[in-house]
Chains A and B, each alone.
Chain A
Amino acid sequence: MNKIVANAEEAIQGIQDDMTLMLGGFGLCGIPENAITALVETGVTGLTCISNNAGVDDFGLGLLLQKRQIKKMVSSYVGENAEFERQMLSGELEVDLIPQGSLAERCRAGGAGIPAFFTPAGYGTEIAEGKEVRMFNGKPHILEMALTADFAIVKAWKGDRMGNLVFKGTARNFNPVMAMAGKITIAEVEELVEPGELDPNTIHTPGIFVQRIFQGEKYEKRIEQRTVRQKEA
């Protein structure tokens, strides 16, 4: 089995206008930088992007927003992006805001063959409007539907040609659940290794969830909020 493709351009073959994409990452941490750059270059448009955040003005999904390639964002938190806010308030961009835990679970459910589930998150708020409410253990819950995508694009630390993935640090975040929920899942990795190099006991995403894998050409890994402390003298 060999799921390796040459580069980002080859990996995103088949992504067409008006498709739904899932993109891993939290803020700028663990985002598929190389695939995003390649998507900008294709000029594909009308995309629905399911991603916890929308990048910053000049990095991550912000690059696709700048070029008006995104029709709709499905996210939990979209601060830190002035262009996003402008497009949303002017009505150019459709936005579906979802509680973060519900977003993660909806992706997981989509990948796990669970069509919907009940959660207490959002009960009594505007995100519960139009959703079925049911009581469990004396507490109201709302029905949330599973999410899937035409393509899920994730970023891992290491991977092999079987599609097995290992993530590093908090760059894991949404990547494993989105990897499960793509009809086609593309994984970009910092390092492609030979099968067997990854200890089977420590693989985070089993290769079955990944259809295409490539080693990213370069990683900027921009830090959004560099916060440090000083060494005591």
Chain B
Amino acid sequence: MLDRNSIAKRIAQELQDGWYVNLGIGIPTLIANYIPEGISVEFQSENGILGMGPFPFDGEEDADLINAGKQTITAMSGASIFDSATSFAMIRGQHIQLTVLGAMEVAQNGDIANWKIPGKLVKGMGGAMDLVASADNIIVAMMHTNRKGKSKLLKRCSLPLTGVGCVKKIVTNMAVLDIVEGGFKLIERAPGVSIEEIIAATEGHLIVEGDIPEMTF
């Protein structure tokens, strides 16, 4: 099984030169640490920066420079800063090539739920609804099962939706899966994880065709 960093590392392999990328809170944020060599991407954070850099060195934090997770960050050379409406013009206007975000549940039709557990946890959707409604290319980064061991890859989401039919790819601690007509198509396995284990951990319809390679790093 992959840890959070390895999930991020695997998703980083999807990055293409010249892309503008929005990374959500949690595992997606870690992707910035694993940009493949020879590739140049610009990270957008929806609170209003393009060209987000790494975390600052101890003592160099700036309260006026944070990411959407409210963490202190730095700005790369060539970065730009803008207001929230302009930021979402980039997102809604499809100027961003890749969006990576976390999820509580993903359904086999591409529905995603990640903002609310009725009666329990209500944090709000933040920018997630805008991101998933507009992005062409959405990857979900999450654990395959929740803390109780229940699958997060479902036939239908049980929680309130964030967006409908929008997720294209999922990278979990167990597998890489594409959302295709009819279900989750297994693309790769995490090192040492068997197809049987993935089937057992996937409630939605899993499509397994031919040999499924292990992820390589």
Contacts and interface: CB of A to CB of B under 8 A. Distances in A.
Interface of A: 26-30, 52, 75-80, 85, 88-89, 95, 97, 99-105, 107-108, 119-127, 157, 168-177, 204, 221-231
Q: Which 6 A-B pairs have the closest CB atoms?
A: A101-B88, A101-B130, A124-B164, A169-B64, A79-B123, A104-B84
22 contacts: A28-B63, A78-B122, A100-B46, A100-B84, A101-B88, A101-B92, A104-B87, A120-B92, A121-B129, A123-B164, A127-B129, A173-B83, A174-B83, A176-B85, A221-B63, A223-B66, A223-B72, A227-B72, A228-B57, A229-B54, A229-B55, A229-B56
B125 A29 contact: no
A104 B88 contact: yes
Contact of A97 (B64, B75, B125): B125
Interface in B33-71: 45-49, 54-71
Contacts of B54: 229
B198 interface: no
A223 B63 contact: yes
B104 to A, nearest CB: 14
A76 B122 contact: no
The secondary structure that dominates the B interface is loop
A88 B124 CA distance: 12
A95 B127 CA distance: 17
Contacts of B75: 169
Contact of A170 (B65, B161, B162): B65
Contacts of B49: 169-170
B28 interface: no
A120 B164 CA distance: 11
B84 A29 contact: no
Interface residues of B, number: 54
Interface in B72-95: 72-73, 75, 81-85, 87-88, 91-92
B81 A170 contact: yes
Nearest to B82: A172
A29 B48 CA distance: 11
B163 A124 contact: yes
Contact of A119 (B92, B162, B164): B92
A19 to B, nearest CB: 23
A97 B71 contact: no
Residue among B49, B62, B68, B70 with the most chain A CB within 10 A? B70
Contacts of B88: 100-101, 104-105
A175 B122 contact: no
A192 to B, nearest CB: 18
Contacts of A171: 63-64
A187 to B, nearest CB: 14
Contacts of A227: 55, 61, 71-73
Residue among B69, B127, B164 with the most chain A CB within 10 A? B127
B81 A169 contact: yes
Nearest to A99: B129
A169 B65 contact: yes
B64 A29 contact: yes
Contact of A30 (B64, B68, B162, B164): B64
B134 interface: yes
B129 A175 contact: no
B150 to A, nearest CB: 22
Interface string B154-181: 0000001111110000000000000000
